[in-house]
Structure 1
């Protein structure tokens, strides 16, 4: 049925955001520099941080042990923590186990080491389906695992943030941490992809 009145037209999102910011600042709710501070934080929350952690764990057995024992401390050791970085748990993949993370309520992840979540991670379809049919969801995302590999899905909460420690691919012996980090993507850290040697930087 057609609506008898023309649709309401809203100002562009950027204009709405600016007006809201100005109103909050004028009423003393938002201090000066608050938005800029978070913009700077977001700029530093990138999956390259998690890739560096994985590469260090692959090359340093002592660091790997720390990561699996106390993920928060291991991340802090490399300078990653702060807001949204409390109580990070690293989940180790094995030849018979693939870990996958989800936030069934919203979109929580270990943002300081994974970066902001991709759109598909926030979608209701992923959040509802991966806990029920993980193997099929992973296949649709491009990761077909043999039946011999168990898939364990971990539900992130506001208190516990997960990251996946992928298996180190064969043929990477002797690689530098920088080169190893170049094959670890955000999808690897979520658990829906495996490191790809073809993407390695020289």
Structure 2
């Protein structure tokens, strides 16, 4: 299936990532000096995608699903419409599917051919999501990859890998942590990380609650 090609193939923590970062910084400096871009405008764009467009948007979607059974059902049946009802739509978020973690199944998302990713819901994609190592390994040995993220699942929990494309992108709805029955929707959203909505982490437990 056709993908949106993003040639960001940085590997985990190696010199290639450092070299790429240096190149980006050098290009930014050069364009700024030539007056082709304004640093304040660039920083505003980055801040929008990192803190406003997402992943706070996705976290609020998850928190609503945790607290509203009707919304959770709608999200399961038509994620695109349910997410749009909260005002979150746009670039690479036009065709969405939500997959729900349960005690018996854990979901994780990848884009094996490039780096298709729902920017409007999750913000900027992490470098590791675009790396060749993640894209090639998570479909072959998902448990091992998840363990390298610090996520160790019970053997009784199956792992399902979903491959994003330009036609369909995925949002993982993590399981709601125990001991959160009295939390507000805003407080619940604060427990949801970008990685938990990709599937490489679980939702955080509130302070003082046991895992």
184, 188, 197: which is aligned to 1:180? Answer: 188
Helix, strand or coil at the partner of 2:187: helix
Q: CA deviation at 1:154?
A: 0.4
Residue 171 of structure 2 corresponds to 163
Q: Distance in 2 between matches of 1:20 and 1:154?
A: 43
User: Which of 1 and 2 has greater Rg?
Assistant: 1
| 1:13 maps onto 2:27 in alignment | yes
- How has the CA–CA distance of structure 1 residues 187 and 93 changed in structure 2, closer, same or farther, with 3 Å as cutoff? same
RMSD: 2.5
Q: Distance in 2 between matches of 1:199 and 1:109?
A: 31
Structure 2 gaps of 5+ residues are 1-22, 37-41
Question: Quick one: higher RCO (CA 8 Å, sep 6+), 1 or 2?
Answer: 2
Q: CA deviation at 1:119?
A: 1.0
Residue 49 of structure 2 corresponds to 42
Q: Point out 4+ residue stretches in structure 1 off by more than 4 angstroms.
A: 15-22, 35-41
- C-alpha offsets along residues 170-202 of structure 1, whole Å, 9 cap, x if unaligned? 1111210011001100000000111111469xx
Residue 6 of structure 2 corresponds to none
Q: CA deviation at 1:66?
A: 0.7
Note if contact 1:183-1:199 (Cα within 8 Å) is conserved in structure 2. Answer: no
Say which is worse superposed, 131-140 or 117-126, in terms of deviation.
Answer: 117-126
Q: Distance in 2 between matches of 1:99 and 1:183?
A: 18
Structure 1 gaps of 5+ residues are 1-9, 23-34
- C-alpha offsets along residues 26-72 of structure 1, whole Å, 9 cap, x if unaligned? xxxxxxxxx89966863532111101000000000010011111111
Q: Distance in 1 between matches of 2:55 and 2:91?
A: 16
Q: Distance in 1 between matches of 2:68 and 2:98?
A: 15
Q: CA deviation at 1:20?
A: 9.6
